[in-house]
Amino acid sequence: MKKNKSSVSFKETVRFALRGFKVWWRENPQILLSVLICGVIDALTPYADIWLLARLIDEIAGGRDPQMIKVYVLALMSTTAILTLLCAGLTRWKNVQLACLWHTQNKVFMEKLLSMDFADMDDGHVQELRSRIWQNTDSGGWGLYKLIYSFDAIIRSVMSIIGALLLTASLFILPVTASDGLKILNHPVFIFLIAAVMFGITFAAPLLAVKAGSYWVKYADENQLGNRLFGFWLGNLGNDRSKALDVRIYRQDILSRNNLKKYNPFIPTSKLAKASKGPMGGYRALSGAVSQVFVGVAYIFVCLKALGGAFGIGSIVQYVSAIIALSGGLSMLIETLGDLRNNTSFLRTVFEFLDLPNKMEKGGTRVSQNSDTGYEIEFRNVSFRYPDQEDYALRNVSMTFHAGQRLAVVGMNGSGKTTFIKLLCRLYDPTEGEILLNGIDIRNYNYHEYMQLFSVVFQDFRLLSFELGQNVAGSMNYDCDKAAQCLRDAGFGIRLDKLPKGLATALYKDFDEKGVAISGGEAQKIALARALYKDAPFIILDEPTAALDPIAEFEVYSRMNQMIGEKSAVFISHRLSSCRFCHDIVVFRRGSLIQRGSHNVLVNDKSGMYYKLWNAQAQYYEVEEE
């Protein structure tokens, strides 16, 4: 399994950072613009004050011209007021943009998830990438998120350095005029040495901080499981209504908490915590201490030069403030570049995920009916293995299925029935062999057009907490008469008449407190109505009546022929008696198609699987009847 790799080149750092900025720019250019403009103005503002203040102090201490003092005071006050107001306005603009960062980032990932191939949802590597991205962002703000704060820091530090350099340059040039030992301060070697010490300290502090930050990268992979369990227990378990019953009956909360205890990265004995107390904390503390040494050196140097008569008292304020700002700017820049480098391994994970190709969407052939035979499907030597699985779920399946046909698919649990349907609908592509529609491999067809051929009710279908009519139509706007008719055909008519707002009634209460709770059987009827509404040429029903009461089931089957009309239908059920409306039955066993024929033919083949399955159920009904 590929992890957050820690070795990163400079070129890679720049490449990934630029890609990340492009994503933000595409999503919302205002984020970058506000950070840029606000950063420039905000970073330069103090220097105007420092410069004017220095001139004012010089005037008070030197010339003492009341007119000039007045001019400097007014200039200082008005510049400060204007720049403060401007900064406040820009900061507000920036903060509004930053408030959307989290959502904007989630939108990028959600759009990818919703558009990726269904097969990728099952792929262990894809799930791993997904999980790592959430965790990296959650635990340290790493990934796309971090880039914006790095950008902010880069702008501020660069501007700060430029401003400080302009104000500090003369510090090294202005000579000491006193005739005593302070003259050494004018010596080029001394100037070089003092500048070297200052730069050395300036670089050392952020490098130590970056070293401390690198422990996040080092332990990111190790903390992954613990982080996931933490998120599951604190963020998901209690919120998920579908788990609420089992949590209570089987105390799954205790199970989850104990699992978290075992792997929790946020306890004092975890590796990350030990590193924080040990080297990671040590590097951070050292970085802070070194910065303070710099401040001391700067003060001594500036004061000695002032003592030697190189400049007036006002300039002490200017130089000390500017030199500290210069050091701060340089430190911030180096630390941010180090962070950017550390962030690259997290960005690599982000782009590995965002770059996952949609392999299904390659074909361009338009889907059309054959004028004689309509739609004819053929499975030709199809075998299939789920992603990351050793065992085949389907093995060498060959069969043809004609338009208008009603096909029942039966077999024991895990024999491959649902997998057969998923391949037919092209949710997965075969590992071996091919599936043909009217003689053409289905991979050659336009993917979205091909998907339009199927209306499916899966075993684990899901309805959304929106209006009933929207659920049936799968869209915001719908044909009310058609939606109501489909619901009646699916056996939901009586319940529909009782709903307070009819088709406009919200299902469940997630988005509407007046939403209605529906039973499992009612939900299944709505799912059936949804399949009917789509009106696709193939209707596929995987255990469509498993949750229905016997009367409702009887009613659905009585109307089945009328509901399906001229469409082709594939029907999976363990209740073999309900498969009898199908002309044709295929029997699966351990992924292979082992029998095919009508009910009458199969039930008379006493050595066959169908006979066994049929008799197992018939026996049960006989006992019940007795």
Ligand X SMILES: Nc1ncnc2c1ncn2[C@@H]1O[C@H](COP(=O)(O)OP(=O)(O)OP(=O)(O)O)[C@@H](O)[C@H]1O
Q: Which residues bind ligand X (CB under 6 A)?
A: 122, 386, 389, 393, 411, 413-419, 459
Q: Environment class of residue 203 by beta-carbon count within 10 Å: exposed (0-12), middle (13-18) or buried (19+)?
A: middle
Closest CB to ligand X among 49 and 122? 122
Quote the least distance from Cβ 248 to ligand X, whole Å.
Answer: 27
30 Rama sector, left if φ>0, alpha if ψ -120 to 50, beta otherwise? alpha
Quote the least distance from Cβ 621 to ligand X, whole Å.
Answer: 20
Quote the least distance from Cβ 91 to ligand X, whole Å.
Answer: 49
Quote the least distance from Cβ 416 to ligand X, whole Å.
Answer: 5
Which residue type does 540 have?
I
Closest CB to ligand X among 258 and 389? 389
Quote the least distance from Cβ 391 to ligand X, whole Å.
Answer: 7
Quote the least distance from Cβ 412 to ligand X, whole Å.
Answer: 7
Quote the least distance from Cβ 409 to ligand X, whole Å.
Answer: 8
Q: What are the Cα distances from residue 536, in Å, to 212, 525, 567?
A: 59, 18, 8
- Lookup: tokens for 333: 């820049």
Q: CA–CA separation, 371 vs 168, rounded Å?
A: 85
Closest CB to ligand X among 332 and 539? 539
Q: CA–CA separation, 265 vs 274, rounded Å?
A: 10
Q: CA–CA separation, 243 vs 239, rounded Å?
A: 9
DSSP string computed for 342-408: HHHHHHHHHHHHHT---TTTT--BPP--BTTTB--EEEEEEEE--TT-SS-SEEEEEEEE-TT-EEE
Closest CB to ligand X among 406 and 417? 417
Beta bridge partners of 411: 588
Q: CA–CA separation, 430 vs 218, rounded Å?
A: 39
Closest CB to ligand X among 161 and 397? 397
Quote the least distance from Cβ 617 to ligand X, whole Å.
Answer: 14
- Whether the Cβ atoms of residue 143 and residue 346 lie closer than 8 Å to each other: yes
- Lookup: tokens for 22: 């492009």
Closest CB to ligand X among 133 and 393? 393
Closest CB to ligand X among 202 and 419? 419
Could you list the beta-strand ranges (E) of 402-479: 406-411, 432-437, 440-441, 454-457
Sign (positive/negative) of CA torsion 394, 399, 400, 404? negative
Quote the least distance from Cβ 523 to ligand X, whole Å.
Answer: 18
- Lookup: tokens for 287: 């970085």
Quote the least distance from Cβ 586 to ligand X, whole Å.
Answer: 12
Closest CB to ligand X among 264 and 415? 415
Closest CB to ligand X among 79 and 418? 418
Closest CB to ligand X among 299 and 386? 386
Q: No. of H helices and E strands in the chain?
A: 23, 10
Q: What are the Cα distances from residue 299, in Å, to 81, 316, 456, 510?
A: 29, 9, 77, 62
Quote the least distance from Cβ 117 to ligand X, whole Å.
Answer: 13
Closest CB to ligand X among 13 and 419? 419
Q: CA–CA separation, 496 vs 493, rounded Å?
A: 5
Quote the least distance from Cβ 543 to ligand X, whole Å.
Answer: 7
Q: CA–CA separation, 302 vs 436, rounded Å?
A: 84
Closest CB to ligand X among 238 and 414? 414
DSSP code of 6?
Answer: -
Residue whose C-alpha is closest to residue 545's, from 533, 554, 535, 536 = 554
Count CB-CB contacts under 10 A for residue 408: 25
